[in-house]
Amino acid sequence: MKSHAKVVVIGGGVVGCSVLFHLARHGWTDVVLLERDELTSGSTWHAAGGMHTINGDPNVAKLQKYTINLYKEIEELSGQATGVHLTGGVLLAATEARLDWLRGVVAKGRYLGIELEEISPNEAAELMPLLDPKQFVGAVRNKEDGHLDPSGVTHAYAKAARKLGAEVERFTKVEDIVRRVDGLWRVITNKGEVVAEHVVNAGGLWAREVGRMVGLELPVLAMEHMYLITEDMPEVAAWNAKTGTEIIHAVDFDGELYLRQERGGMLMGTYEKANKPWSEYQTPWNFGHELLAPDIDRIAPSLEVGFRHFPAFQNTGIKQIINGPFTFAPDGNPLVGPVRGLPGFWVACGVMAGFSQGGGVGLALSNWMIEGDPGADIWAMDVARYGDWATMAYTNAKVRENYSRRFSIRFPNEELPAGRPLKTTPVYDLLSAKGAQWGVAYGLEVPLWYAPEGVKDEFSWRRSSDFTQIAKEVATVRDGVGLSEISSFAKYKVTGEGAAAWLDRMLACKLPKPGRMTLAPMLKEDGRLIGDFTLANLGPLDRDGEGWFLAGSGIAEQYHMRWFEKHLPDDGSVRIEALGAKLTGLSIAGPKARDVLAKATRSDVSNAAFPFMAIGRMDIGMAPCLVGRVSYTGDLGYEMWVAPEYQRAAFQALMAAGEEFGIGLFGSRALNALRLEKNYGSWGREYRPIYGPLEAGLDRFVAYGKEADFIGKAAALTERKQGGKLRLRAFIVDADDADVIGDEPIWFDGAVRGWVTSGGYAHHSKKSVAVGYVPKEIADESDGFEIELLGKRHAARMQATPLFDANFERMRA
């Protein structure tokens, strides 16, 4: 075994071998994979080997497509058969709600280049002869569905990597990992030590244990999973003889089943509701090639449905039941990327669909390690989407929920209950008493809307029970004044003598003067967005000396801290702190907002003394607050930041002051309706690391000419010169009873040309709004667009100026 390597990859399952292959293919050949046993000694060997392109997140779906297309290449490179059978498949719907969901999947496929086609149950039965068409209302055909040999694929990755110069050390168990003072990693094994610049945790079933070696508690949990294999079936033999082809794959969502041919019989797997975690606290090191005891009672309810939906199963015997464990993150997507606070330590774990996702994970991670960027939008897989709040108990609750819902529909207005409430702010009970319906963002409970007595969310793809109430909340803001809780924003404090110069380099905007705020896009080296913030210069206002305040997307706190910390100078001249729950927030907005604030404070908040984008310290009632004159509602408004111990007092002072002005509460759904009619984008939707500032319409906040050489400046100047490829645009949709959610295709002139990033109903303007990206060549057309919604194309008109307050008179008043 070599004593030094650029990279040590820990784990020889399908994921570790894919990472090794991709590193070597990308040019890093001084890489070694350490496997404690034979390759495939974790989940990989007993997998059912199914693969498909469908994923709830379009960016993950793209990587799944990449993975499936890769098998041919690694087979040729390695000479190792992968056993790929691209049979195609049918996705089956037994209810109308499921069919609506499938239509959304077909629609997304159009711009992802995934060929999907809606077919009738009878057409599905012609393709998959075992199903009873009477049990279904519709289906979708997917040509990129199939199965493979799990061991063959893993060995093909490993052999191809070796051919490119990588090394694989089997029977080499990593026992400890220690960071040296020079930043290199000592990887200590039962056969000696390797010193490496980078370590990749691809430990699969043992990823938690490998993480613990560096003090990391990863949010992953293994679940038992069962599939059965039948005796040979005459129906299968007859079909094979008649068509000369295998029986195609089927996913029966309502039965929570997946099926495929296995030799002369069938394989049927299920994600049962009464699921069971495996080794909740500690995966035993002596586990390897054994299977778990099957428990047919647990899967019996699913099998009953299966036998009804696929009647031929009633006449066949079960040859074998496989029960094996594999790991999940709380939301079921992988955990990939560099770990904040551990430079050179990377993870590639929690991969629950290794044969659909392993290739994409390897590609993204190798790009990230070698180029400094994953090269794709992989937010849905980024390990930074979780923070310290994703504890072991939280993970346990969420993984079990996610497993039991693997094939369930999640409606756009559906909030999942497991692991909640976890983080709450001091006004939680006060808002609950007013009818707050809660959602969750980065572990924190956030008020979505306020339900009148006896009304609650009815889950639907269409406008639902909250529609009338959201209209009222919007009217409260636009016609008078509304109050909302805004603690879910991420808040950062930047201090130190080097702070201004550092921010000037990190952010693409011009730095504001003391007491002022600005919108602040943050770019990567390739000139694309990596953040958008409100930056405030606290200057003399800051009690600890010169300081800066940043507010940004709450879900991206860890993501942004990882980026900030990577770029901090070593000399300690700049300090940045994520304030998290140390600072809570309230906001008031609407034409009467200033009247309320003036009544609640002794400070002068007149337009002359406290104009748009001013920031200052003032007491609200008795509570000391930092108040900024800005509002995401696009109206006259204020954001107030307050230490949690004062949040209730500030809330009560504002509500009391607002009484005579008719103050009411509004939640994040109303806020969405308000920001849409102002064309305001949001991080994670409109603003993502694949778009440039010009494309995203944030170029007006980029100080291209400023002296500081901000990160991404050269690339941003090129984008400005060459015009980029896309443009973010708002559309008014001729919708009937449903509005866009996000990820719907935008048609122009009979072809799919773009995609929706978000939208909804703008209650004040009484318009259904969609926001999305289209190629710049058609970005100035006003008509001819259509947006596909629940399987139907709706006419859409481009809306160039904001529907509300296009001249910014209200917010600057």
Ligand X SMILES: Cc1cc2nc3c(=O)[nH]c(=O)nc-3n(C[C@H](O)[C@H](O)[C@H](O)COP(=O)(O)OP(=O)(O)OC[C@H]3O[C@@H](n4cnc5c(N)ncnc54)[C@H](O)[C@@H]3O)c2cc1C
The site for ligand X (CB under 6 A) is made up of 10-16, 34-37, 41-44, 46-51, 173-174, 202-206, 210, 225, 227, 322, 324-326, 349, 351-356
Taking the C-alpha atoms of residue 25 and residue 777, their distance in angstroms, rounded to an integer, is 36
Task: Look up residue 184 and give its two tokens.
Answer: 């290199």
Q: How far apart are CA 649 and CA 343, in angstroms?
A: 42
Q: Which is nearer to ligand X, 175 or 457 (CB)?
A: 175
Minimum distance between the CB of residue 17 and ligand X, rounded to whole angstroms? 7
Minimum CB distance to ligand X smaller for 11 or for 443: 11
Other CB atoms within 10 Å distance of the CB of residue 513: 10
State the nearest-atom distance from the C-beta of 199 to ligand X, in Å: 11
Which of 13, 554 has the CB closer to ligand X?
13
Q: Which residues contact 129 (CB under 8 A, 6 or more apart)?
A: 235, 239, 247
CB of 222 to ligand X, least distance (A): 8
Q: CA 403 from chain center: how many Å? A: 17
CA distance 527 to 722: 13
Cis peptide before 421 (omega within 30 of 0): yes
* Distance from C-alpha of 717 to C-alpha of 735, rounded to nearest angstrom: 39
Q: Please choose, from the candidates 281, 242, 248, 282, the residue with its C-alpha nearest in 3D space to the C-alpha of residue 267.
A: 248
Nearer to ligand X, 54 or 789 (CB): 54
CB of 23 to ligand X, least distance (A): 15
Q: How many H helices and E strands in the chain?
A: 19, 38
Looking at the Cβ atoms of 214 and 416, the one nearer to ligand X is 214
Cβ closer to ligand X: 149 or 677? 149
User: Shortest Cβ distance from residue 16 to ligand X (Å)?
Assistant: 5
> How far from 364 is each of 67, 107, 739, CA to CA, in Å?
11, 25, 33
CA distance 691 to 682: 13
At closest approach, how far in Å is the CB of 206 from ligand X?
Answer: 4
Alpha-carbon gap, residue 11 to 35, rounded angstroms: 5
Dihedral sign from CA coordinates of 683, 684, 690, 696? negative
Rounded to the nearest whole angstrom, what is the least distance from the CB of residue 309 to ligand X in the complex? 19
Q: Are 199 and 213 in contact (CB under 8 A)?
A: no
Distance CA 506, CA 706 (A): 13
Residues in the chain: 813
Between residues 334 and 628, which has the closer beta carbon with respect to ligand X?
A: 334
Which residue, 49 or 88, is less far from ligand X as judged by CB? Answer: 49
CA distance 156 to 259: 25
Q: How far is the CB of 267 from ligand X (least distance, A)?
A: 9
Cβ of residue 33: shortest distance to ligand X, in angstroms?
9
Q: Kindly write down the DSSP assignment for every residue of 115-181, as one continuous string.
A: -EEEE-HHHHHHHSTTS-GGG-SEEEEESS-EE--HHHHHHHHHHHHHHTT-EEE-S--EEEEEE-T
Minimum distance between the CB of residue 378 and ligand X, rounded to whole angstroms? 16
Q: Smallest distance from the beta carbon of 362 to ligand X, in angstroms?
A: 10
C-alpha dihedral, 444 to 445 to 446 to 452, nearest 10° = 180
| 308, containing H or E segment | helix 296-309
Q: How many whole angstroms separate alpha carbon 188 and alpha carbon 163?
A: 26
Q: How far is the CB of 324 from ligand X (least distance, A)?
A: 3
3-state SS class at 750: coil
CB of 49 to ligand X, least distance (A): 5
- Residue pair 771/756 in contact by the 8 Å Cβ criterion: yes
Q: Whose Cβ is closer to ligand X: residue 5's or residue 650's?
A: 5
**32 versus 561: smaller Cβ distance to ligand X:** 32
CB atoms within 10 A of CB 66: 17
Q: Say how many CA atoms lie within 13 Å of 724 toward its Cβ.
A: 27
- How far apart CA 690 and CA 684 sit, in angstroms, is 11
Compare residues 14 and 90 and give the one whose CB is closer to ligand X: 14
Query: CB 202 → ligand X: shortest distance, Å?
Result: 6
Q: How far is the CB of 283 from ligand X (least distance, A)?
A: 8
268: which residues sit within 8 A by CB, 6+ positions away? 227, 228, 230, 257, 258, 259, 303, 306, 310, 313
What minimum distance in Å lies between the beta carbon of 196 and ligand X? 14
Q: Which two tokens stand for residue 89?
A: 């498949």
Give me the least distance between CB of 109 and ligand X, in Å please.
Answer: 19
Nearer to ligand X, 12 or 337 (CB): 12
Rank residues 47 and 247 by Cβ distance to ligand X and give the closer one: 47
- Do 634 and 678 contact (CB within 8 A), yes or no? yes
Nearer to ligand X, 276 or 524 (CB): 276
Q: Between residues 323 and 799, which has the closer beta carbon with respect to ligand X?
A: 323
Separation between Cα atoms, residue 713 and residue 717, nearest integer Å: 6
Q: Which is nearer to ligand X, 337 or 512 (CB)?
A: 337
Q: Residue 630: what are its φ and ψ, rounded to 5°?
A: -160, 150
Do the Cβ atoms of 733 and 766 come closer than 8 Å? no
In the complex, minimum distance from the CB of residue 128 to ligand X, in angstroms, rounded to a whole number: 17
Other Cβ atoms closer than 10 A to 285: 12
Q: Which is nearer to ligand X, 53 or 396 (CB)?
A: 53
Give which of 797, 789, 692 is closest to 108, Cα–Cα.
789
d(CA 369, CA 361): 12
Helix (H) or strand (E) holding 61: helix 58-78
Comparison of 12 and 754: residue with beta carbon closer to ligand X: 12
